[in-house]
Amino acid sequence: MKQSDTILEHAERCAHLAETAVNRPTFRRFKRMEEAWRALAYEQDWLDGEIPPGQVRNGNPLGETHA
């Protein structure tokens, strides 16, 4: 199993926890954690050579954040 797959499992757990959140702040917290885990998995794939340098993710060049 690739390291990024393990990281994506954490993202999926956060997504599940967000679905079962009892209030909006908790939901948003788990969604932010999910997004962070997914970004980390993407970066790990890049570090492992799975994604070539300069590859675009979600319409953004590698390293560029949402405004």
Q: What is the pLDDT of residues 9-59, one digit of tens each?
A: 999 999 999 999 999 999 999 999 999 999 999 999 999 988 877 775 654
Looking at residue 10, its pLDDT comes to 98
Query: The pTM is what?
Result: 0.77
Task: Transcribe 28-61 into DSSP letters.
Answer: HHHHHHHHHHHHHHHHHHHHTTSS-TT-EETTEE
- What does the domain layout of the chain look like in residue ranges? 3-61
Looking at residue 57, its pLDDT comes to 64
